[in-house]
Chain A
Amino acid sequence: MVTVPTPTGTPTARGSGRTAERRTAAASPAGEPRRPGRASGGAAAARRETIAGYGFLAPWLVGFFGLTVGPMAVSLYLAFTRYDIFTPPEWVGFGNFVRMFTDDPVFLRSAQVTLEYVLIGTPVKLAAALAIALLLNSITRGSGFFRSAFYTPSLIGASVSVAIVWRAMFAGDGAVDSSLQILGIDLGGWVGDVDLAIPMMIILVVWQFGAPMVIFLAGLKQVPTELYEAAQVDGAGPVHRFWKVTVPMLSPVIFFNLLLETIHAFQVFGSAFIISNGSGAPGGRLNFITLYMYKRGFADMQMGYAAAIAWVVLVVVAIIAAIMFRTARSWVYYAGDNR
């Protein structure tokens, strides 16, 4: 993942002057050049390091295996069963998946609205974030104020309070509807409208452009000024400079934001739940996949079916992420030394 993931940055606890307990053989996943270490401390020191490492990592390891890997395995098993939590799971093979794709129009609609929301909402959100980051990056005064103002929705956007506000503002004769009426546009309420429910949710997610914007801003600050100057000398206009300098130099950050925001968008739940009063209405247009899974699992107690839905989500997310990583090779540009 982009600039981020160089594991463990530095290979070892840097050798102490005294005992030289650094292992040269230590896995050094990061780009940092390994220094020719003195391997005299040898096995005992390495063992001490390992004990210390796992000691520090113990809580995380328990959580990782007990609350992530273990449950993943359980849900994979449950996906092939019928399970209502009161009676033991009953193996049904691929039954859940067959039902999902051949006999459950509600699921298919849910998948469709989720994809619509993710595939439109995320790019629009990132485009807004980048555009506004560029705007902010080119002013000299007051950028701190605007940055904070724009970031605020990212902190509260997923809260129930904001969902309540959204529902009220987008209701018939609410703030949005009446403002549009002044402009001569009469759309009526958005909340109960089959065509406008998803746009309303997309506006909600785009409203939270502040978090990726802040990341873009930090990235923009790292673009060497010389590049722009050189481009300008060569007669490149602003549009050209944007596409030939800004975008390539920002591409790792764009990739990072795209990946995280896409995955994040798949998890939309609370706002859709509140706005539709838990129903996913109108016409299933707010019945995003997480909400549908919740209803199947926790309202209908079809835990096996819900687990199967969860795994479909995981596979779809993995495919999208894989496509992104694949195509990243052709458009994500890493400066020579990525540190």
Chain B
Amino acid sequence: MTTVEHVQPGHGTAEITARDAPPARRRGRRRGLATTIVWYLMLLVLAAIVLYPLVWLFFATLKPSSEFGRNSGLLPWEPTLDNYARVWDGIAGIPLWRYGLNSLIVASLAVVGTLASSALAGYAFARVSFKGSGILFAAMIGTLLLPFHVIIIPQYIIFNQLDLLDTYVPLLIGKFLGTEAFFVFLMVQFIRNIPRELDEAARIDGAGHPRIFWSIVVPLLRPALVTGGIFSFIWTWNDFLGPLIYLTSPENYTLPIALRLYNDTTSTSDYGATVAASLLSLIPVLLFFLIFQRMLIRGVATQGLKG
């Protein structure tokens, strides 16, 4: 990963400046050892607080049902894997893996759609000069700021009339049409940093925009595609409102909506299964983050700063 990045031009601002940061700064502001220790202690305490809910969740999944409501401590008295065994049986007569598979299908298709549509739009905004590009770019940025409230009701009505409720089409079509401005913007920022000389060389060889896009920009765009893909996956994976509105039959449910079933039926007090399912549904997200954290964080950083 890193070796590729060093060869490739035009990645995020954060990375560049991090490397350029003069070492003088660190030497210049030397502090006492005591201060340094205090700061690390503060950070460690903070990290412990921030990560506590996840640690809590992990141990909660190991508590037997009898301890819920009685053992408010972090650690289970008698750790057990029963909760996982029960969660595997699923809910509403449908095993958990099925919800996971649904989530995986939706999230994977969302990644494909988002990357394709936003790379195309990003190229148009970053590299092609056409009438109206300025105003359309402003409109795209505008949708970044648009609260979704004003569009969900008409969208629901439209998909209802097209008889597409309880399918994945309403959840996915927007991804294939680049409606999430964050990703378009990510691509624009990245493509702008690809040296123009490469385009020009290709143009001299007679390549048009489609060729330049496909043979030059897309290969160099890989870091942005990875970053965007992971964000798209995680956000779709976590999405609650969309599936809540559009999916009606349990066999189509994605994980968050299925979790809600567990949560609703906690009157039957299978609390253990609920927390176990919660943790299981977070695992793909946490795994992705562990593997790709550098790229993700750089993606966030460039979003806020001009690249």
Contact = CB atoms under 8 A, between A and B. Distances in A.
Nearest to A207: B50
A64 interface: yes
SS of A interface (majority): helix
B146 A68 contact: yes
A309 B42 CA distance: 44
A191 interface: no
A161 B278 contact: yes
Interface string A245-273: 00000000100110110010011011001
Contact of A218 (B147, B152, B305): B305
B47 interface: yes
B252 interface: no
B120 interface: yes
Contact of A225 (B28, B72, B259, B286): B28
Interface band, chain A: 35 or more
B167 interface: no
A18 B289 CA distance: 46
Nearest to A179: B72
A270 B148 CA distance: 14
B129 A215 contact: no
Contacts of A153: 50, 53
A8 B133 contact: yes
Interface stretch (A94-102, A105-113, A134-142): A134-142
Given A11-B129, A72-B151, A164-B263, A218 B160 contact: no
Nearest to A221: B17
B6 interface: no
B150 A267 contact: no
B4 interface: no
B196 to A, nearest CB: 5
A174 B12 CA distance: 42
Contacts of B174: 63, 67
Interface string A1-35: 11111111111111011100011001101000000
Contact of B275 (A144, A168, A173, A303): A168
- Contact-residue size bin, chain B (C-beta under 8 Å from the other chain): 35 or more
B56 A175 contact: yes
Interface in A29-83: 29, 48-50, 52-64, 66-68, 70-72, 74-76, 78
Contact of A14 (B22, B196, B210): B196
B21 interface: yes
Interface stretch (B77-85, B134-142, B220-228): B134-142
A165 interface: yes
Contacts of A76: 150
Nearest to A1: B141
Contacts of B97: none
Contacts of B154: 70-72, 74-75, 78, 307
Interface of A: 1-14, 16-18, 22-23, 26-27, 29, 48-50, 52-64, 66-68, 70-72, 74-76, 78, 85, 132, 135-136, 138-140, 142, 144, 146-153, 155-156, 158-162, 164-166, 168-169, 173-175, 177-178, 207, 211, 214-215, 217-219, 221-222, 225, 228-229, 253, 256-257, 259-260, 263, 266-267, 269-270, 273-274, 277, 289-290, 293-294, 297-298, 303, 306-307, 309-311, 313-314, 317, 321, 338-339
19 contacts: A8-B133, A49-B129, A60-B177, A66-B177, A74-B158, A75-B154, A78-B154, A138-B29, A140-B26, A142-B43, A149-B51, A159-B281, A164-B278, A168-B60, A218-B301, A269-B241, A298-B245, A307-B154, A310-B149
Interface of B: 12-14, 17-18, 21-22, 24-26, 28-29, 31, 36, 39-40, 42-43, 46-47, 50-54, 56-57, 60, 69, 72-74, 116-118, 120-121, 123-131, 133-134, 136-141, 143-158, 160, 173-174, 176-179, 184-185, 188, 192, 196, 199-200, 203-204, 208-210, 213, 234, 238, 240-241, 244-245, 255-256, 259-260, 263-264, 271, 274-275, 278-279, 281-282, 285-286, 289, 293-294, 296-297, 300-306
